[in-house]
Amino acid sequence: MAVKKQEVSLGEENWTMEIRPKASFFQFNLKEILEYRDLIILFVKRDFKTMYKQTILGPAWILINPLLTTVIFTIVFGRIASISTDGIPDFLFYMAGNILWSYFSGCLQATAGTFLGNARLFGKVYFPRLVMPIATCISKLITFGAQFFLFFLFVMWYMWKGNVRLTWLCLLTPLILFELALLAMGVGMILASLTTKYRDLQVLVGFGVQLWMYATPIVYPYSQIPGKWRWIISWNPVASLVEIFRYGWLGSGTVSFPQMGMGALITAVILVFGVLLFNRTQRTFMDSI
Q: What is the pLDDT along the chain (289 residues), one digit of tens a residue?
A: 444 444 444 455 565 655 555 545 455 566 777 777 788 888 888 777 777 665 666 677 788 888 999 999 999 998 888 888 888 899 999 999 999 999 999 999 988 887 777 767 766 777 677 888 888 889 899 889 999 999 999 999 999 988 888 999 999 999 999 999 999 999 998 988 888 777 767 778 888 898 999 889 999 888 888 877 777 788 899 999 999 999 999 988 788 888 888 999 999 999 999 888 887 777 665 555 5
Is residue 46 within 8 Å of residue 53, measured between CB atoms? no
Do 210 and 133 contact (CB within 8 A), yes or no? no
Strand, coil or helix: 61: helix
For residue 71, what pLDDT is reported? Answer: 93
Q: What is the pLDDT of residue 130?
A: 82
In angstroms, the CA 147 to CA 155 distance is 12
End-to-end CA distance of the chain: 18
Model pLDDT, residue 270: 93
Instruction: Enumerate the β-bridge partners of residue 9.
Output: 14
Query: What is the reported pLDDT for 18?
Result: 55
User: What's the pLDDT score for residue 19?
Assistant: 55
Q: What local confidence, expressed as pLDDT, does residue 266 receive?
A: 94
Predicted pLDDT of residue 43: 82
- Distance from C-alpha of 223 to C-alpha of 250, rounded to nearest angstrom: 15
DSSP string, 127-186: --TTHHHHHHHHHHHHHHHHHHHHHHHHHHHHHHTTS----GGGGGHHHHHHHHHHHHHH
Q: Which pLDDT score is estimated for 49?
A: 73
